[in-house]
Amino acid sequence: MAADVHKKKSWEVPNGSLAPGDGQHAERSESPTPGLAQGTEPGAGQEGAMFVHTRSYEDLTSPEDGAAVARSPEERRGEPAEQSSMEQISKDFSELSTQLTGIALDLEEEMRPGKEGKLEPSPQTNRRDSVLSGKEEEDVTMDAWRMHRKHVFVLSEAGKPVYSRYGSEEALSSTMGVMMALVSFLEAEKNAIRSIHADGYKVVFVRRSPLVLVAVARTQQSEQEIAHELLYIYYQILSLLTWTQLNHIFQQKQNYDLRRLLAGSERITDNLLDLMAHDPSFLMGAVRCLPLAASVRDAVSSSLQQAKAKSLVFSILLSGNQLVSLVRKKDQFLHPIDLHLLFNLISSSSSFREGEAWTPICLPKFNSSGFFHAHISYLEQEMDLCLLLVSTDREDFFTVSDCKRRFQERLRRRGVHHALQEALRTPFYSVAQVGIPDLRHFIYKSKSSGLFTSPEIEAPYVQEEEKERLLGLYQYLHSRAHNSSRPLKNIYFTGPRENLLAWVTNAFELYVCYSPLGTKAGAINAVNKLMKWIRKEEDRLFILTPQTY
Amino acid sequence: MSGRRVDAKVVLLGQEGVGKSSLVERCAHRRFRPGPYQNTIGAAFVAKVMTVGDQTVTLGIWDTAGSERYEAMSRIYYRGARAAIVCYDLTDSGSYQRAKFWVNELQNCEEGCRIYLCGTKSDLLEEDRRKRGVDFHDVQDYADEIKADLFETSSKTGQSVDELFQKVAEDYVNFSAFQVMTEDKAVNLDQRNSPYFYSCCHH
Ligand SMILES: Nc1nc2c(ncn2[C@@H]2O[C@H](COP(=O)(O)OP(=O)(O)OP(=O)(O)O)[C@@H](O)[C@H]2O)c(=O)[nH]1
Ligand SMILES: [Mg+2]
């Protein structure tokens, strides 16, 4: 296990060779072509990236899997994909279009060890109900529906329950025992991903010693994508405890009850699972920026940059789950996964609204063995702007707190406060701005910057179920495009409710949703128009000039 | 972490859910949020200006998280504190045992820190006397023994909350004049520039 971590370090370490170097930029092309070199695509930073360079989600899975991702020798834009895979896609897609809205079978029932099992399927007896009762009551049908879509369990290698998404771990412990037995049966080596496909659902196991994570999913996600979500949960646990502490604990006592240490954090993990079901950031392995005029963003970034302190590593300003600005210490890169975990932490608790929080936090992809200390506060009571200052020195609270004060003072002096407030009023843009009639929605990711952009999800995807169905379609396209044995660069599909296109190159990834009335020629035409629009708007939709202290 | 901005560092300690954040919320904003319980993550800092006679005193209040997860690093929050409000839930005897743990901790590591025992949620006892899980006289004896003040508060009704913080501020003013200012400077410089592990006197 230790060796594994070291191996990872060599390609995860912030200033590792995978971080794109500066000055590799060619001319920024007016009309992007598939041959665009990485670093010249719309959204690519002009002065290097902010993040550790990742290849989407592949690097989340074990290195062996990552290495297996074939790089297709050349682009075959416009050409139909292989016949067999198109047929498969066709089949999968129609299943997806219908099944995702259909009523799922009662998985809870199937999970039950016996008819008289102690398991409580009723959401009312849920452990978290006391916490979320208001929301839960409004939404019982919705939650019941979700409840059956994906169960997530975390257990220790000794089979002790650690976390369960629905129902108490106590009640589920017999189920966990069965899973444990399955895991040890399936496990030949540590850190492997295994899955069982049964009638309509997948059971995916991820073992990250000393923990085992299990998902029972009725979603159409691929095994890889489910494993990817489980790994996020694993990283979430590491962010609270550190890898070193987690291992130390279980070395001392194999059957330690980890719930003691995780008490109160269930909400954070619950929130992460909910977020992954509707925020494409996780699927894309990228970060979305708050749309903001470049001049305003630059003023914010400069203010952040100037409010520095010796112990600061990252200064992050965010709104909702969108990034407003990120300033980092020179040579230190943040991993998008770590940033997602921070986003999730903040969105899962209203406790940060009061005073100034000063909390230990591990950024597992940056360094899984130790804690940083994060200063977390909202800029103003009624404004959705949260400032996160990540420091290496736990004793440095007052210095870091002073950085916040200086930042706010600079913002005021530069007079961008008002512009920021305006931007927060419309945190999302409408796809209508692009001016393509058949275009319903899209996700565009710049690979070199690790940033993506996507308009608000609008009609006909109004209902929560519909929104999740759309994300499910993107997930599906994504998994087809990144299939490790046969990755596809172009996918176009015509369905009864929408047409979809995916286009993955070395520089970017684009997923587009059209109304079902359009043609393929129209769709390809629209892509060119869309890419031009993104290029035109890139300085508003992306952070092109990231700053360092 | 005793910064210039504040005169006296005050720390709240106690088991999760006993009502530390609610106490601070009542003291700083004069309100009570009945809504869903939001456990504190790490600790939250609030500065509160108090008036004692013709003086003003700024209390730097550290509302710590009760979760065991943060126990190993709790020292960074109470180090150098002039006052510690050790909370327990009046309806929960387990939380009183936990309070004693914190008192021991403080006695071993922070000699200059005055201790205030605070039984919380007294409004629940008004509803139903039988709910009391911690005997008043037992705590009184214990408080005498450790030379601590004792309060029974309710953040819901506001009962005794202002008195508690006022007493903290007054004691600070009355005692600090005679005390030598001792600033704890024991920062481990070796670990300054890298993410580190917390250690504590009791680990
Ligand atoms: N009835 C009543 N309930 C209270 C009182 N004070 C707190 N509570 C409730 O007790 C729960 C926990 O309160 P918090 O103030 O968040 O507890 P805490 O000690 O800060 O907990 P941690 O941050 O996890 O350590 C909440 O549901 C509060 O509403 C009180 O005076 N009366
Ligand atoms: Mg609290």
CA A523, CA A273: separation in Å to the nearest integer? 33
Residue A46: predicted pLDDT: 73
**DSSP class per residue in B93-139:** HHHHHHHHHHHHHHHHH-TT-EEEEEEE-HHHHHH-GGG--S-HHHH
Numbers of helices and strands, H then E, in chain B: 6, 6
pLDDT at A294: 94
Low-confidence ranges of chain A (pLDDT < 70): 1-35, 47-48, 52-148, 167-193
Residues in A 349-368 with any Cβ partner in B closer than 8 A: 349-352, 354-362, 367
Kindly give the interhelix angle for A129-138 and A140-147, rounded to the nearest 10 degrees. Answer: 110
**Per-residue model confidence (pLDDT) at position A94:** 53
pLDDT, tens digit, for every residue of A37-63?
777 888 887 766 777 655 434 344 433
Give one DSSP letter per residue of A153-184, joined into a string. EEEETTS-EEEESSS-HHHHHHHHHHHHHHHH
The reply to whether omega before A460 is within 30° of 0 (cis) is yes
Q: Could you tell me which residue, A279 or B5, shows the higher pLDDT? A: A279
Indicate yes or no: CB of B44 within 8 angstroms of CB of A351: yes
Distance B60 CA to ligand 2 centre (A): 16
Q: What local confidence, expressed as pLDDT, does residue A185 receive?
A: 59
The β-bridge relationship of strands A372-378 and A386-391 is: antiparallel
Q: What is the pLDDT of residue A170?
A: 56
Helices and strands (DSSP H and E) totals, chain A: 18, 17
Which residues 167-196 on chain B approach chain A with CB closer than 8 angstroms? 187, 192-196
- What is the sign of the dihedral through the CA atoms of A354, A355, A356 and A360? negative
Atom 30 in ligand 1: which residue has the minimum CA distance? B121
Q: Could you read off the pLDDT of B78-131 as tens digits, one per residue?
A: 999 999 999 999 999 999 999 999 999 999 999 899 999 999 999 999 988 899
Q: Is B57 helix (H, G, I), strand (E, B) or coil?
A: strand
CB A483 within 8 A of CB A320: no
Which of A347, A354, A372, A391 is best to mutate for the B interface (most B CBs within 10 A)?
A354
Euclidean distance between CA atoms A279 and A262, whole angstroms: 25
Token couple for A61: 């899975």
Can you give the length of chain B in residues? 203
C-alpha–C-alpha distance, residues A352 and A376, integer Å: 7
| B64 confidence band (pLDDT: 50, 70, 90) | very high
The answer, yes or no, to whether residue B181 has pLDDT greater than 90, is: no
Mean per-residue pLDDT, B22-47: 92
pLDDT at B152: 97
Q: How confident is the prediction for chain A on average, in pLDDT? A: 77
Can you give the pLDDT at residue A12? 33
Predicted complex ipTM: 0.87
Beta-bridged to residue B118, according to DSSP, are B87, B151
Q: What is the Cα–Cα distance from A411 to A421, expressed in whole angstroms? A: 12
Residues 6+ apart with CB under 8 A from B162: B27
**Helical ranges in A223-360 per DSSP H:** 223-241, 243-252, 259-262, 266-278, 280-284, 294-306, 336-347
Q: For residue A65, give the 3-state DSSP assignment.
A: helix
Is the Cβ pair B36, A367 closer than 8 Å?
Answer: no
